Structure 1
């Protein structure tokens, strides 16, 4: 389930909520009880790493070692 960030336009309170994609967005602020919650923009909470996500996985020949190219000289 995704993690959503919310911010109250009335009091500025911020919170995170784990919700299903099919759930309606939250509207009532838990701090001031005003119906002024809006979804806040946030950065992605994951990092692509490990086997299958490196820049060298789908490259061939001389293009295979892009990260170490500067170190060889």
Structure 2
């Protein structure tokens, strides 16, 4: 669940609230009891860095296949490739 920042336009009180995205915004200030809370726009508390997310990052066991592995057909060896017995 995201953390939203609020500031009261009546008294200036600032606060954070853990809410679902579908929840209605808070309006009543817990300090002055006025309906003056407004959501603040703030930066996210994390940053994604690096080359990106990989298919295998969150898979375990035999599920760690790569997307390209399923698309590559296995090459059959011709019958003449067997080692000759001397």
Match in the other structure for 2:38 = 38
Higher relative CO (Cα under 8 Å, sequence separation at least 6) belongs to 1
Taking structure 1 as the reference length, the TM-score comes to 0.66
Aligned to 1:16: 16
Provide structure 2 residue ranges, at least 5 long, that are not aligned to the other structure: 54-86
CA–CA distance in 2 between the matches of 1:20 and 1:36? 21
Aligned length: 53
* Partner Cα distance (2:8, 2:36) in 1: 5
Match of 2:26 in 1: 26
RMSD: 1.5
After superposition, the C-alpha distances for 1:19-67 in whole angstroms (9 at most, x for unaligned) are: 00111000000000000000011111111135636xxxxxxxxxxxxxx
Structure with bigger strand share is: 1
